[in-house]
Structure 1
Amino acid sequence: MTLAGAAPRTGDGTRPVPAVVTTSKSPSYALRAEAHRLGARWGLPVVERHRGSVAAARGSAATALVCTSEGLVAESARGRLSFHQGTAAKRLRTVRHGGTDPLVRAGELRPGDRVLDATLGLGRDALVAAWAVGAGGQVFGIEADLVLAVLADAGFAGPVPRPGSAPVRVRHGDSRQVLTAMAAAGEHVDVVLLDPMFTDPRASDHGFALAREHTVPTPLTPTWIELARAVARRRVVVTAERARPWFADAGLERLEGTRSGRWFRAPGGVS
């Protein structure tokens, strides 16, 4: 499948390295090995920190990905960011206790579904989708920013997802290109998620300044919706602060019964 693996980005010597990988102070052999594995997988340089500061290890790179005994942490001059449930925690509690979630409703998610989160970000929607579709389902996440993709990939492999959730496979890249390739190859999923308004802050998301720094601004367009519908069997689910004038022509309608009013959906285009 087109989403089978990560899409590492390596430096070519003509542009700044987006991030470096390092460790906490006085790392164990296992932490050092994890740092080198991470660097090799994503094409990032590994900097031996020794007893120096993270800022010194970061050098000219904007962000350092720090392997610690508690997990992976992204650190820059703007702050620190790690993978956690954040706003998904309350949503997951609601669903587990028999309540409803707008994403589950909009996508009509059910056990065994295959879901593509085309704007993965911090992975909040993907955490909810993974729980909703269960261990027999599949969730794929595409993130345009390398640092957020690496954080999410490590986070979904750790203890944050609830037991019984579907595995989440993360790819770094432009989801519009991935959707185009999937449609050309005849690859489909049940539901595609699009949340291009990722830069809107959520009250419980600490470290959001760093997350915003790594957001790749991509405006929602009719073409993007069309690409998503070309691979979705059931639904394309969109979150947006307001309806655009072209939403109706793109097949998008507001999901009724939600307090925020920011959930929209269109029927999938795959029969």
Structure 2
Amino acid sequence: MIQSLVITTGIRRAAELEAKALALSRELNIPYVRRGKQSLAAIRQASGAAAVMLLSCEKLSLVVDDKELFFHPGLAKLRIKEIQSGKTDQMISAMNLQAGDAVLDCTLGLAADALVASYVVGPAGTVVGLEDAAPVASVVRLGLQSYTGEKPEILKAMRRITVIPTDHLTYLKNLPANSFDVVYFDPMFRVAREKSSSMAPLRLFANHNPLSREAVAEAVRVARKRVVMKENRGSDEFKRLNFPAVQGGKYSPVAYGIIEKVVP
């Protein structure tokens, strides 16, 4: 996990961004450093920070060395396009997701899965994403609220996602039974499976703890319909966490464990 973090602004229009950066500094309890003409490397060296949160006119990002992590729809956009063309999305199939459903994504990460789910459940549905790394949650929350340049239906799906910076077990324990139709876990995100060097900032913040049986039990209590977990195909985690059904694409390296609620 991250040892130290500071926040600063872009050089352009820094004065306009300062108030917003200061508000984030207070919210996340991290030091604010006035940018001036300093390079990010100079700010890191002077502050001893492992990473810099950078607020620019366009976005909020996390910078480690010369690698920058920020919200973008990525593969979610392609998945939504394939859904629109009538193709099957394996996650949506595993969730048996319907328009109007409420989804709790317990491992939000960069919100790719949450975005696809939000598109499918539509304006009558709900998607809440939990992210225990508060800086990542802030980057994604602001990105979902301000990202532009996509088709209206994708932008609307982004805006409908609620991001909460908290650990999933605590949140689940405080929910009433049957609060969401589907509760979703992607523990693979916690180990930052992406090999791209651009994901280095995410690895710095990633929570590497395995999913607990207690969290799954709470998820079963909270879900009205299903609990779904994404994992490597053939993973022992499906057995360890008592997921009786596993499904996924024939050639996909990942699969989805399913616990279906039995309605009395």
Residues 99-122 of structure 1: CA distance to partner in whole angstroms, max 9, x if unpaired? 221111111111211111101111
Matched residue, 2:64: 76
Q: C-alpha separation between the residues in 1 aligned to 2:194 and 2:64?
A: 20
How many pairs are equivalent? 253
In structure 1, C-alpha distance between the alignment counterparts of 2:3 and 2:210, rounded to whole Å: 25
RMSD over aligned Cα atoms:
2.5
Where structure 2 has 5 or more consecutive residues not aligned to the other structure, the ranges are none
Q: Aligned match of 1:209 in 191, 196, 200?
A: 200
- Length-normalised TM-score, structure 2: 0.85
1:65 to 23, 39, 53: 53
TM-score normalised by L of structure 1 = 0.83
9, 17, 41: which one aligns with 1:55: 41
Alignment partner of 1:146 is 2:138: no
**Distance change (3 Å), C-alpha of 1:245 and 1:106:** closer
Change (3 A) 1:38 1:164: same
Q: Work out the percentage of aligned pairs sharing the same amino acid.
A: 30
- Is 2:174 aligned against 1:181? yes
How far apart, in 2, do the equivalents of 1:249 and 1:22 lie? 42
1:220 Cα deviation (Å)?
A: 2.5
2:11 paired residue among 18, 21, 25: 25
Q: Are residue 167 (structure 1) and residue 160 (structure 2) matched? A: yes
Deviations, residues 197-216 of structure 1 (Å, cap 9, x unaligned) = 1135347x661122112111
Kindly provide the CA deviation profile for residues 69-90 of structure 1, in whole angstroms up to 9, marking residues without a partner as x: 2211210126211111122222
Report the counterpart of residue 245 of structure 2 in structure 1: 253
CA distance in 1, matches of 2:262, 2:167: 21
Shift of 1:235: 0.9
Q: Deviations over 1:116-170 (max 9, x none)?
A: 1101111111111111111221111111212211111111112268133161111
The one-letter amino acid of 1:53's match is S
Give the conservation status (yes or no) of the 8 Å contact 2:106–2:130: yes
User: Structure 1 pair 50/126, CA: closer, same or farther in 2 (3 Å)?
Assistant: same
Asked whether the 8 Å contact 2:67–2:197 carries over to 1, the reply is no
2:90 to 68, 90, 102: 102
Letter in 1 for 2:60: L
Deviates most, 213-222 or 156-165 = 156-165
Q: Does 1:195 align with 2:181?
A: no
Amino acid at match of 1:67: L
- Shift of residue 239, structure 1, vs aligned partner: 0.7
1:93 aligns with 2:81: yes
Helix, strand or coil for the counterpart of 1:247?
Answer: helix
Structure 1 stretches lacking a partner, 5+ long: 1-15
Distance 1:84 1:187 in 2: 32
Separation in structure 2 between the aligned mates of residue 82 and residue 269 of structure 1, nearest angstrom: 40
2:9–2:21 contact (8 Å) kept in structure 1:
yes
Q: 1:215-251, CA deviations, whole angstroms, 9 ceiling, x for partnerless residues?
A: 1112123322112111011111101113327638724
Using the TM superposition, give the Cα deviation of residue 91 of structure 1 relative to its aligned residue in structure 2, in angstroms.
Answer: 1.1
